[in-house]
Amino acid sequence: MTSPEGLRLEEATKVFFPRTPNEVTALDSVNLVVSAEDFITIIGSNGAGKSTLLNTISGTFLPDDGHVWLAGEDITANPEYVRARAIGRVFQDPRAGTAPSMTIEENMAMALLRCKPRRLRRGVTKRRRNLISEQLAPLEMGLEKRLNTEVSKLSGGQRQALSLLMATVAEPKLLLLDEHTAALDPKVAETIMNLTGAIVQDKNLTTLMVTHNMELALRWGNRLLMMHKGKIVLDVEREEKDTLTVPDLVQKFHDVAGESLAVDRMLLD
């Protein structure tokens, strides 16, 4: 690996409905080396394997073959709850990353304690409440003044900002972003994306971000991957990525895949 603190996939393979007429190879012997502090954007048409890649890394799915390494440790057989101690994740649905019936401070306290040994203890202490307020204030959404508000009462943008903060407050070894701005209106999405960039840079987080938005994939991160039919068909480093346009990416897809890119949200966003 380029860095012992990064991520590595070796021949990672995931097949759904094997040995049936509906068999689908979602990941096809994927090899990937991610250096520490890489911010990689991942694009591809529907069914390319993007979300399956994140699910295999996070432990939602265990690979049928191959290995997953994180920070020099083989985590292939580790269940999702074990990997969650080292991996933060934000989903497309703002409701997915929080506990809606719990308050803002209770959600944040859970996130702060995620990597701590499990034992009976008070979740929200005065010291922890002060720390939570300090973490929330930079969002500039006033959430630090609403610590006892149930998360279900927050707007989608506020909830996604909270999800992002919860996923990163304990400074995970890896951050996974699964189209985390796709369900938001453009103005709120821009706010969340700027917040994402600031947090990733401030905490030096190793990050993988799946997106359908090709312009977004070009604008953010230091490296871009394109997936197609369960494979990584394009891997572009910052120097080249910064010179590309969306039409360039469409042409590159045609060159490597031998077919035209399907006209879906990738081109409409």
One domain for residues 185 and 248: yes
Mean pLDDT of 24-37: 96
Both 197 and 235 in a single domain?
yes
> Is the domain of 261 the same as that of 145?
no
Nearest residue to 116 (alpha-carbon basis) of 44, 169, 71: 169
Q: What is the maximum alpha-carbon separation in the chain?
A: 60
59 and 105 belong to one structural domain: no
Choose among 99, 94, 90, 89: nearest CA to 184: 94
pLDDT value of residue 110: 87
Per DSSP bridges, beta strands 65-70 and 39-43 are: unpaired
Structure tokens at 82: 């074990």
123 and 147 assigned to the same domain: yes
In a domain, 147, yes or no: yes
Please give the pLDDT value at position 261. Answer: 63
Which candidate, 237, 228, 232, 215, places its Cα nearest to that of 262?
A: 228
Contacts of 143 (CB under 8 A, 6+ apart): 104, 136, 149, 154, 158, 161, 162
Residue 123's pLDDT is 57
Q: Are residues 6 and 82 in the same domain?
A: yes
Residues 184, 209, single domain; the answer is yes
Inform me whether the pLDDT recorded for 268 exceeds 50: no
pLDDT in tens, 46-85: 889 999 999 999 999 999 999 999 999 999 999 999 999 9
111 with 150, same domain?
yes
Whether the pTM exceeds 0.85: the reply is yes
Check whether residue 139 and residue 36 sit in a common domain: no
137 domain-assigned: yes
Where a domain ends, among 171, 200, 234?
171
Look at residue 138 and tell me if it is in a domain.
Answer: yes
Kindly state whether residue 108 falls inside one of the protein's structural domains: yes
The C-alpha atoms of residue 157 and residue 188 are separated, in whole angstroms, by 6
Mean pLDDT of the chain: 89
Same-domain status, 187 and 150:
no
Boundary residue ending a domain (171, 191, 225): 171
Residue 2 has pLDDT above 50, yes or no: no
Q: Is 162 a domain residue?
A: yes
Q: Is residue 140 in some structural domain? A: yes
In a domain, 92, yes or no: no
Q: Show which of 171, 204, 231 is a domain's final residue.
A: 171
For the cut 60, the answer to whether the pLDDT of residue 3 exceeds it is no
Q: Are 103 and 150 in contact (CB under 8 A)?
A: yes
Tell me how far apart the alpha carbons of residues 41 and 52 are, in angstroms, rounded to a whole number. Answer: 15
Residue range(s) defining the domain that contains residue 213: 1-86+173-269
